[in-house]
Chains A and B, each alone.
Chain A
């Protein structure tokens, strides 16, 4: 799929001169003995939104969770191939790489909002605390900034020290986004962040992702093609653990190459 052998691939990307933030190469993944990803290739362009789409069970979450080594939490899981993080040139799934170190650089927002049983403030600050940031002024400033970026500040600024469980589902999800943003990760992973939310909350999150692209690189899983069309710059289509097609979003939806992609986006399956 990619011509270049050195890290900075760009030759066969539809747009040129783009910087890569990460690159998945020949990545296979096994849950015990069952193979969930089959030699997946995928470039992640810096400061752009890459959407992963495909039918339920095709391996979108599995791929996303390779980026921050989430699979390491459970025994028996195995990676093959590589995910290189640029500009560090770090192979995320390489042997001997500390998953904790990977997770300190990559943020994640989950399908269901999962705020910690703490105050709103402490939720956002938690990623700073564990990175050893203790100076009160810096923490406060960063918490406010993240909450503003997550479009939540106005709604919570008067109750920062109340429990996060008092927020609505949509607010909780934006809180989780603020929590992921606070340590300023280079790459943020979203796993169907709006699937548990109502349309209004969904619209807010989509708007937010659109804003975040200016400063962050984003990989977002969605089973909603319209959403992929609205918010992403690149779209990748997966089918049964394989990466079938990757293209700039506009081109992907107007001139899909693979017949399976055509079927999927015209709604004939999935």
Chain B
């Protein structure tokens, strides 16, 4: 490979020195350490939060049985006669979240199809900042919007609607998570390669047929993930329900009436003056852990769906 004349020639300009290689290895190692530390930090913070939640909740469950917690139908931690039925709060949370999804899923799907497949670039560039504006509005503003504007408006045509109710906060949360859902699912749709669209048009598909039969299946995992992450957000949403849904903990069956959600309860109880370590104080962590488990399950579901339906182009 190396000829004789080469070996005797003057220093090869492309010769790599030992010192250079050493320096390279050192830089590489340092960078890897920094990146590793940054990654560990985020994991440590999460682990710390989970640790506090679980350890405080453990104190709670030392005094209240898990069976009572899951089956009792009343939630009265500060009353004389105490009940700890978390399903009251869970039902409120699930009710508002379900209403939010009923609003956000169809609207989000239609909007993202429109933006990704139909809108002219100028229209898309005009609509996206408006959506981002919505997600920039403080949630407390949405809360009072629900309580002081939407509820009175709806009361004019929905007779049984209480001043505090689950319907209106649910709808408003749906509007709040819409930009997030649209942004994630539109990204997923736009990531579908153009070669698939061309294949569909070449077969004679219309634009709508291409969107529904090719683009949506192609972006399925991303779209599903968008909905489930949107659901997680709806479940964790606090201000709107704290302001507009009422604070009465009961099993929620009628969306026209008010009921407390997990987050609304946590706000309410934290604002009060609670002795550290009292059972009422510990309910914060039990409720927080429940919320954590619910969103965690949704995230696992999203992760699983993503893996199952991920398409490799």
Highest count of chain A CB atoms <10 Å: which of B199, B209, B218, B220: B199
A126-B213 contact, Cβ under 8 Å, with A103-B202, A107-B202, A116-B200: yes
Q: Which of B193, B203, B217 contacts A130 (CB 8 A)?
A: B203
Complex Cα gap A230–B197 (Å): 32
Tally of contact residues, B, Cβ under 8 A: 21
Highest count of chain B CB atoms <10 Å: which of A118, A127, A130, A183: A130
Q: Which residue of B lies closest to A164 (CB)?
A: B311
Digit string of B189-222 for contact with A (CB within 8 Å is 1, else 0)?
A: 0000101111111111110010001100110100
A131-B204 contact, Cβ under 8 Å, with A116-B213, A116-B218: yes
B205 touches A114 (CB 8 A): no
Complex Cα gap A114–B205 (Å): 15
A70 touches B204 (CB 8 A): no
A100-B204 contact, Cβ under 8 Å, with A73-B198, A110-B195: yes
A165-B311 contact, Cβ under 8 Å, with A116-B196, A116-B213, A130-B209: yes
Contacts of A180 in B (CB 8 A): 202-203
A104 touches B199 (CB 8 A): no
Q: Which residue of A lies closest to B121 (CB)?
A: A75
Contacts of A223 in B (CB 8 A): none
Shortest CB distance B46–A (Å): 34
CB of A28 closer than 8 Å to a CB of B: no
Complex Cα gap A131–B205 (Å): 9
A114 touches B195 (CB 8 A): yes
Digit string of A73-116 for contact with B (CB within 8 Å is 1, else 0)?
A: 10000000000000000000000000010011001101010111
Q: How many A-B residue pairs have CB under 8 A?
A: 66
Complex Cα gap A18–B122 (Å): 50
Interface size class of A (residues with CB under 8 A): 20 to 34
CB of A218 closer than 8 Å to a CB of B: no
A117 touches B218 (CB 8 A): yes
CB of B312 closer than 8 Å to a CB of A: yes
CB of A179 closer than 8 Å to a CB of B: yes
A165 touches B312 (CB 8 A): yes
A70 touches B202 (CB 8 A): yes
Shortest CB distance B63–A (Å): 52
CB of A171 closer than 8 Å to a CB of B: no
A103 touches B197 (CB 8 A): no
Complex Cα gap A165–B309 (Å): 12
Contacts of B193 in A (CB 8 A): 114
A183-B311 contact, Cβ under 8 Å, with A116-B214, A117-B220: no
Contacts of B311 in A (CB 8 A): 117, 165
Contacts of B220 in A (CB 8 A): 117
CB of A184 closer than 8 Å to a CB of B: no
A103-B201 contact, Cβ under 8 Å, with A118-B217, A130-B209, A165-B312: yes
Query: Can you spell out 19 A-B residue pairs with CB atoms less than 8 angstroms apart?
Result: A68-B202, A70-B201, A73-B197, A73-B201, A100-B204, A103-B202, A114-B195, A114-B199, A116-B213, A116-B217, A116-B218, A117-B214, A117-B311, A126-B203, A126-B213, A129-B213, A130-B209, A130-B213, A180-B202
Chain A positions near chain B (C-beta within 8 angstroms) = 68, 70, 73, 100, 103-104, 107-108, 110, 112, 114-118, 126-127, 129-131, 165, 176, 179-180, 183
